[in-house]
């Protein structure tokens, strides 16, 4: 059974500091680099080999769900994002919370919950706000 989650890992893909002002990179190149960083962040968060990244959604997320399902704020986020694809499956919702648009926020909230049993109000509010923005768009 999978039980590893790197709560100390800091996502990089969403951080503007990965590019210097002097970098001469196009928007397309920045997006390509961010996509690579997102995949690396995902691998590092779940502490898996890159060849196992496809197992995240089949094996790892359901196990993580069992560890966090008692948190009502996270459950609300899972349900809300799952509803965007006409589902009420919370595990599927958790998978969607690790999509590019949400992973850096989800990771903060999940890490706090796993480390301390609570989530900083500012972090969960920001995750909920981004889900609402996503739903509106």
pLDDT band at 137 (very low <50, low <70, confident <90, very high): confident
47 vs 131 pLDDT, higher one:
131
At residue 30, the pLDDT reads: 85
| pLDDT of residue 1 exceeding 60 | no
The predicted model gives 19-37 an average pLDDT of 87
At residue 53, the pLDDT reads: 65
The predicted model gives 9-26 an average pLDDT of 86
Q: How far is the C-alpha of 100 from the C-alpha of 96, rounded, in Å? A: 9
Decide if 127 contacts 74 (C-beta within 8 A): no
The predicted model gives 57-73 an average pLDDT of 92
CA angle 57, 6, 4 (to 5 degrees): 60
| pLDDT of residue 134 exceeding 50 | yes
| pLDDT of residue 69 exceeding 50 | yes
At residue 45, the pLDDT reads: 95
Question: In this predicted model, what pLDDT tens digit does every residue of 82-128 receive, in sequence order?
Answer: 999 999 999 999 999 999 999 999 999 999 999 999 999 999 999 99
The predicted model gives 29-41 an average pLDDT of 93
Which residues neighbour 30 within 8 Å (Cβ) at sequence distance 6 or greater? 19
């Amino acid at each position: 059974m999978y039980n590893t989650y790197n709560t100390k890992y800091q996502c990089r893909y969403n951080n503007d500091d990965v590019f210097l002002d002097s970098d001469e990179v196009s928007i397309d190149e920045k997006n390509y680099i961010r996509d690579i960083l997102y995949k690396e962040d995902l691998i590092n968060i779940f502490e898996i080999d890159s060849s196992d990244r496809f197992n995240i959604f089949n094996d790892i997320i359901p196990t993580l769900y069992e560890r966090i399902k008692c948190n009502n704020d996270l459950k609300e986020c899972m349900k809300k994002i799952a509803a965007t694809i006409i589902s009420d499956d919370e595990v599927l919702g958790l998978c969607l919370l690790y999509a590019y648009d949400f992973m850096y926020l989800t990771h903060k909230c999940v890490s706090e919950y796993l480390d301390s049993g609570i989530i900083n109000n500012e972090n969960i509010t920001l995750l909920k706000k981004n889900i609402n923005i996503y739903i509106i768009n």
